[in-house]
Chain A
Amino acid sequence: MTTYQHRVFGVAVRMLGSPAEAEEVAQETFLRAHGALAEFRGDAKLSTWLYAITSRLCLNRLASGEGRMSRARAQGLDRLPATEGGEPGADLERSEREAALHRAIAELPEERRIVVVLRDLEGLAYEEIAAALSLELGTVRSRLHRARLDLKEKLERFL
């Protein structure tokens, strides 16, 4: 749990935008994993299994309270920790760029956002994403490409 706590929490907070809700989802993820540990077959990575639980909990929560989550999401992402170090001018620019990136991710549709988060922020392979989200490999590839194109358009002034 110590090994995966940051990854699980990272997926939840990128998806939900609220650290408090992300912690609740992360706790629920580990509690469910603990309760269903006997059912874990071992043919998949433990991380993929945990990502699968987290992604399902986040998508369910978003589906149950989309409007409220959307309002809190931008504020929560803006408060995420910024990259440390560097010159003040460069830090300001980097901070602004990161904030713009957080907002761009938060504005993605949920089905695209989860793919980008799992791939570009958590580094999962296409196959792992397809297994975690129970999607076809081609669906993962197309959703990921569209999500990246959306981000490129929104972040064009920083490119």
Chain B
Amino acid sequence: MSCADNRLLHSALLDGELAPAERAQVEAHLATCADCTAELAALARTLGMLHALPAARAPLGFVDRVLEAARPMPWHRRLGRRLFQPLRVKLPLEAAAVVLVALGAVYVFQNTPELQQAARQEQPASGPVPVAPPVPVAPPATPAPATGPAVSGTPAPPASTLAEPSQPAAKTDQVEQVERKERESALSEEAPKKRAATRERRSDSSDASPGATNLMKDAAPAPPPAAAPPPSVSPPPIAAAPPSEGAAVAPPAAPAPEARDKRAARSRPQAPRELEGARPEDKPGELSARAPQIPARLFVAPDASGRLTVGDRAAAERALAELGGRLGVAQAFRREEADGALIEWMVPREVYPEFVRGLAGIGRWTADREPASLPPRVRLQIRVGS
């Protein structure tokens, strides 16, 4: 038996676990080998140290705690024990798991728009429903129905209101006569301004131009609009008119400044350029360009008309322009026709006789129509031809 084989059996020899034959072989080797004998002695001392260790004792109250633990526990204690014990192991793991789950939930929520939308929808539903403040009911935009025809003192409704189909269909003849007279006066005085306003409205929208509509209605047999701005009578403030008196209700605030402008324009002395209906920014060529818009007014008879026969028509027209400039008479309209130029002048009543005498000085003046009584501004049509 070698020393290595002998030493493998030392533990069993010390414990008395060797069979008698093995024990005899080991003891025979030990009798002849001092190293193996010393090794066995050291191992025996090590075992002596182990056996000398004091026995561990269970802590006090251990049995009671075991008996207490052996009793049936409530389900919640069993659950808590199963979930959290041992605390040193399970608690950190569970805390980490909770943190991971929370982070995962936040990540999923941030990357899922459907969840965010659902959260936004659920939020107002969970809280008290806010009561919306009462919305004031807007008054009806349609004007009050007209109870009677418009009179001359009634404030003029806006042109858009005039074009509405809610106008009264029937009017008395007297009212129509009054209105026609007012329109004629208005055409004679404010035609330039109306033309300018018509151009502006046409440029704003494609709706029917109120001014042109009025003119066309004058020419057409269709029933005329309810009212036109009276030239000579200063209308009362629009807001002062009771809605039930006029054919049209007081218009919105938009037309009011326009009416004021018209009144102001009538009250101040008019410059020749303004009488020509041209705005300050208008160019000279625009007068003929606007001609196609105006022919409707030719259906309204002028206050006076006549033919001026001249030899040189160009020189005659220059002389007419000088005459008008000298007397402060504005040329309102000019159109070239086959037999000459048709020129319309707005002649103040005070200078009308002198203007007619001036015509006689330019050429041979033949009056076709003379007014019985001169209006403040005489609408004079002159056909200049050779």
Contacts and interface: CB of A to CB of B under 8 A. Distances in A.
A105 B69 CA distance: 31
29 contacts: A1-B63, A5-B63, A9-B62, A14-B56, A19-B59, A23-B58, A26-B62, A27-B65, A27-B66, A30-B70, A31-B69, A31-B70, A68-B88, A80-B56, A81-B54, A83-B52, A98-B54, A101-B53, A121-B53, A126-B15, A141-B11, A141-B17, A145-B11, A148-B11, A149-B43, A151-B50, A155-B46, A156-B42, A159-B45
B86 interface: yes
A65 B12 CA distance: 33
Interface in B58-98: 58-59, 62-63, 65-67, 69-70, 85-86, 88-89
Rank and list the top 3 A-B pairs by shortest CB-CB distance, nearest first.
A10-B56, A9-B58, A145-B11
B141 interface: no
Give the size category of A's interface with B: 35 or more
A80 B63 CA distance: 20
Contacts of A5: 58, 62-63, 66
Contact of A23 (B10, B51, B62, B89): B62
Contacts of A65: 89
Contacts of A24: 85-86
Interface of A: 1-2, 5-6, 8-10, 13-14, 19, 21, 23-24, 26-27, 30-31, 34, 64-65, 68, 80-84, 97-98, 101, 116, 119-121, 126, 141-142, 144-145, 148-149, 151-152, 155-156, 158-159
A159 B42 contact: yes
Interface in B24-65: 42-43, 45-47, 49-59, 62-63, 65
A26 B58 contact: yes
A6 B11 contact: no
A82 B54 contact: yes
Contacts of A142: 8
A101 B47 CA distance: 11
For chain B, what secondary structure do more than half of its interface residues adopt (helix, strand, loop), or is it mixed?
Answer: helix
Given A9-B62, A120-B51, A144-B11, 11 more contacts: A5-B63, A23-B65, A26-B58, A27-B62, A30-B66, A31-B66, A83-B52, A120-B50, A121-B50, A145-B8, A155-B46
Contacts of B70: 30-31, 34
Contacts of A84: 54
Interface residues of B, number: 33
Contacts of B51: 120
A121 B50 CA distance: 7
Contacts of A159: 42, 45-46
Contacts of B45: 159
A35 B382 CA distance: 133
A23 B59 contact: yes
B58 A158 contact: no
Nearest to B56: A10
A34 B70 CA distance: 8
A7 to B, nearest CB: 8
Nearest to B9: A145
B263 to A, nearest CB: 102
Contacts of B57: 6, 9-10, 81
A6 B56 contact: yes
A130 to B, nearest CB: 11
B47 A141 contact: no
Contacts of B50: 101, 116, 120-121, 151
B17 A148 contact: no
Contacts of B54: 80-84, 98
Nearest to A119: B15
Contacts of B46: 148, 151-152, 155, 159
